[in-house]
A and B are shown apart, each in its own frame.
Chain A
Amino acid sequence: MNQISIRRALVAAALLGSVAVAPLAMAQDYDANATIRIGSLYEPQNLDNTAGAGQGINEAFNGNVYEALFQLTDAGTVEPKLVDSYTNSEDGLTYTFKLKSGVTFHSGDPLTAADVKYSIERVTAEASKSSRKKSLSTITGIETPDDQTVVITLSARSISLPYNLSYVWIVNDKATDITATEDGTGPYTLGEWRRGSALALNRNDKYWGTAATNGEVIYTYFTDATALNNALLTNAVDVITSVQSPDSLAQFSGNPAYKVTEGASTTKEILAYNDRVAPFDNVKVRKALARATDKAKLLNSIWGDYGTLIGSFVPPTDPWYVDLTGVDPYDVESAKALLAEAGYPDGFEFTLDTPDYDPHPIVAQFLQAEYAKVGVKVNINIITANEWYTKIYQEKNFQATLQEHVNHRDIVFYGNPDFYWGYNNPEVVKLIADSEAAATIDEQTAKLTEANKLIAEDAASNWLYLYPQIVVSAANVSGYPVNGLNSQFFAYGIQKAK
């Protein structure tokens, strides 16, 4: 449920050709002052994305309350937002940004270059808990020659700088503590907020751009998927940001009162081995377990007819995607043979640290039953999200674990040998580093495609399936984002029929 967002260096500012899903019905007579009620499972813990607020704050605030220099659109493109134009030097190490003029914060202050500098430094500051911190570590200097110009110098080429800047909220430099208030430039201002329950955004009538097509948005928060579905069924919310089980869809699909939209997903369910420790330091063991997993059956158990099978960490929407499902297909006999080759003819035993929320416990039980067939005994150890963070992400003290990774373009994690799963292939490390320093998008894509094939060949982790990304709404509501990339949910285009 509460997806841990391990988000770090993301690679490219490339355009994603195929993702864009056409906006929904437009030519309708809509109520310009309607209240849109959005149901979600991801309540922000506070309102500051550098203070450990969780992914919920991105869902509620990105693009709605705060804006960045660039925006990652729902279609996956990176477009200028508060930037009017920008140039990059020949060596790729100096970016010069011209800001849009006439932009003001909700408090009435005009946007200046100093605000941009302040905002980037907020994210890179030592006390910042932002998960983006590391992706901006190549920044060596930020200068503000005038109020409308920001010059950023880098220590190494970074083709994805604009992409990474799309996570950096531009906050008024006069705002100090924004854990319970806000001062952004977006189309909404913060309205009422009741912790544990709901958060309201009111349309900003002084917005510098196109005004929102609704008067008010209320994000209502639930802690379990059933309660969330019930809320839509009883007309307590208009739209739910992501459906978490196929069984709840049965009540909505085929019912003319609701619309079910399947978007492009980037959320991967994976069995991550600790590649540093035996027996998982042995590629044959990893490949054996991959071949002992009936992924089609697992996906059907969890998601019915929804979801996608994947052969590596890359979803079909990333430009460096290739179909790798054939590398280690389901084949119990060859799994047994590989285990014997690796020196485990009678199998082995391992502990699977399993986060306590859906779907991990049920996936763990499936793997337990499947691996028993090849003589591998799985001990399921249920842990909380909090313990997962400490024990696995920080201390790397585990044999194998289950986790969902929500971001797109996160194959770069495999280029970091210090990452929790400890995959260390010097070739992959170099390819991923080179891709970031690439001069062109084609070069970047070529390098990452190569890295993608290598991790699949190494069975670096066991990529179980790609979640579907499903948004359900009442039939009279349209214009919402359907892909929800990086947990964003832009509300300003949502329309409610009169």
Chain B
Amino acid sequence: MRAVAASAPRSRGSATLWLGLLLVGLHVAVALLTLVWTPYDPTALTGGRLAPPSWEHWAGTDRLGRDFFTQIMIGSRIALIVGISAVAIGGLIGVTLGVLAAFATRLLDDALAATLDILIAFPTLLIAMLVVAASDTASLGTAILALGIALSAIVARLTRILAKRVLLMDYITAARTSGTSRIGVVFQHVLPNIWPTLSVNFALQFGLAVIAEASLSYLGLGAPPPNASWGRLLQEAQGTVYTAPIGAIAPGIALVSLVIGVNLLADGLRDIGDPTRRASR
């Protein structure tokens, strides 16, 4: 360890990136695979009640005798859908609001900033709970929308701060005086400048969304069956934790590995974008 200490920051940075890529890549590959092939039909009752792991069923079966490994694989797909869609929704709303706030007059900006601060003070989960409660019936779409809305406040605040910083730069003033429209400024200067930082933040939000979806499912407010989300699998397996412990462990490990993967990827990307900082935060 001591010998490599001098070059440690650099090598660890790229190791972080590679490990992140590996974990995320694995989940993406599994998710894509489930579109064309799974070991079993996910809804088929193929085995006995809570069969232990075996060659036929690598992670055993659930109460109805469905193959658990198949469910976990499909969980990868659902987690990626949840994470990507929630971040897309949150990003779209958040970036729009943030840029608007950055351009707004002082008074409006203050009001928006205060509102965002209040919304951020509530964790993602609480806002998502309310949105889910406000919709009549539960669905994966509702859960995603709820998470997206909850994330948008965080994105908006970050965008506002970053965009304000860019707007103070000399070349923006130059561009404005030379006749570029506000929209032009946003697309030509502001977004390209803040994108690197935003994209790293999006990766972190992705992890938050996946965890929050699992928690919503645990509280009974998440995606309903037949969506085999990891959160729902964990919630269903909780009652059988002593007779079939694998059900209460395997989906959790899958979830943690994806979130760690995405977080490492974000750290790695940040180090590339900002070589002066070491793999921190």
Residues of B within 8 A of A365 (CB): 43, 64, 225-226
Interface residue? A28 (CB, 8 A): no
A301 to B63, CA, bound (A): 5
Contact at A382–B63, with CB atoms within 8 Å? Answer: no
Q: Mark each residue of chain B from 48 to 77: 1 if its CB lies under 8 Å from any CB of chain A, else 0.
A: 011000000000000111000000000000
Interface residue? A109 (CB, 8 A): no
Interface residues on B, range: 20 to 34
Q: Can you give 29 A-B contacts (C-beta < 8 A)?
A: A226-B239, A226-B241, A244-B239, A245-B240, A247-B50, A247-B239, A247-B240, A251-B242, A300-B49, A301-B49, A301-B63, A301-B65, A302-B63, A304-B49, A354-B224, A356-B138, A356-B220, A362-B64, A362-B236, A365-B43, A365-B64, A365-B226, A366-B64, A381-B224, A382-B224, A382-B225, A383-B137, A383-B138, A387-B137
Q: Which residues of chain A (257-303) have a CB below 8 Å from chain B?
A: 297, 300-302
Residue among A224, A250, A380 making CB contact with B242, cutoff 8 Å: A250
Residue among B138, B243, B244 making CB contact with A382, cutoff 8 Å: B138
Q: Mark each residue of chain B from 212 to 255: 1 if its CB lies under 8 Å from any CB of chain A, else 0.
A: 00000000100011100000000010111111100000000000
Interface residue? A400 (CB, 8 A): no
Interface residue? A361 (CB, 8 A): yes
Contact at A361–B64, with CB atoms within 8 Å? Answer: no
Interface residue? B170 (CB, 8 A): no
Q: How far is the CB of B43 from chain A (nearest CB, A)?
A: 5
Residues of A within 8 A of B239 (CB): 225-226, 244-245, 247-248, 358
Q: Name the residue on B nearest A366 (C-beta).
A: B64
Residues of A within 8 A of B241 (CB): 226
Q: A interface vs B, CB < 8 Å? A: 224-226, 244-245, 247-248, 250-251, 297, 300-302, 304, 354, 356-358, 361-362, 364-366, 368-369, 372, 380-383, 387
A362 to B224, CA, bound (A): 11
> A300-B49, A357-B220, A364-B225 in contact; A369/B242 too (CB < 8 A)?
no
A358 to B239, CA, bound (A): 10
Residues of B within 8 A of A225 (CB): 239
Interface residue? B45 (CB, 8 A): yes
Q: Name the residue on A nearest B240 (C-beta).
A: A247
Q: How far is the CB of A237 from chain B (nearest CB, A)?
A: 18
* A contacts with B: majority SS: helix
A435 to B140, CA, bound (A): 49
A347 to B9, CA, bound (A): 64
A353 to B77, CA, bound (A): 26
A369 to B42, CA, bound (A): 10
Q: Which residues of chain B (23-42) have a CB below 8 Å from chain A?
A: none
Residue among A248, A302, A357, A361 making CB contact with B225, cutoff 8 Å: A361
Residues of A within 8 A of B49 (CB): 300-301, 304
Residues of A within 8 A of B137 (CB): 381-383, 387
A357 to B240, CA, bound (A): 15
Q: Name the residue on A nearest B220 (C-beta).
A: A356
> A301-B64, A356-B220 in contact; A366/B138 too (CB < 8 A)?
no
Which 3 A-B pairs rank lowest in CB-CB distance, beginning with the nearest? A382-B224, A247-B243, A247-B240
Interface residue? B44 (CB, 8 A): yes
Q: Name the residue on B nearest A391 (C-beta).
A: B136
Contact at A369–B45, with CB atoms within 8 Å? Answer: yes
Residue among B45, B50, B138, B242 making CB contact with A248, cutoff 8 Å: B242
Residue among B45, B226, B242 making CB contact with A247, cutoff 8 Å: B242
Q: How far is the CB of B74 from chain A (nearest CB, A)?
A: 14
A187 to B279, CA, bound (A): 68
A365 to B232, CA, bound (A): 13
> A247-B240, A250-B243 in contact; A387/B45 too (CB < 8 A)?
no
Q: Which residues of chain B (129-182) have a CB below 8 Å from chain A?
A: 136-138
Q: How far is the CB of A366 from chain B (nearest CB, A)?
A: 5
A361 to B239, CA, bound (A): 14
Q: How far is the CB of A244 from chain B (nearest CB, A)?
A: 8
Residues of B within 8 A of A300 (CB): 49
Q: Name the residue on B nearest A233 (C-beta).
A: B242
Contact at B45–A366, with CB atoms within 8 Å? Answer: yes
Residues of B within 8 A of A247 (CB): 50, 239-240, 242-244
Q: Name the residue on B nearest A1 (C-beta).
A: B220
Residues of A within 8 A of B240 (CB): 245, 247
Q: Name the residue on A nearest B65 (C-beta).
A: A301
Residues of B within 8 A of A382 (CB): 137-138, 224-225
Residues of A within 8 A of B224 (CB): 354, 356, 361, 380-382
A356 to B65, CA, bound (A): 21
Residues of A within 8 A of B225 (CB): 361-362, 364-365, 380, 382
By CB atoms of chain B within 10 A, which of A300, A301, A302, A368 has the most? A301
Q: Name the residue on A nearest B226 (C-beta).
A: A365
Residues of B within 8 A of A354 (CB): 224
A372 to B225, CA, bound (A): 16
Residues of A within 8 A of B65 (CB): 301
Contact at B236–A368, with CB atoms within 8 Å? Answer: no
A358 to B235, CA, bound (A): 11
Q: Name the residue on A nearest B63 (C-beta).
A: A301
Q: How far is the CB of B142 from chain A (nearest CB, A)?
A: 11
A268 to B247, CA, bound (A): 28
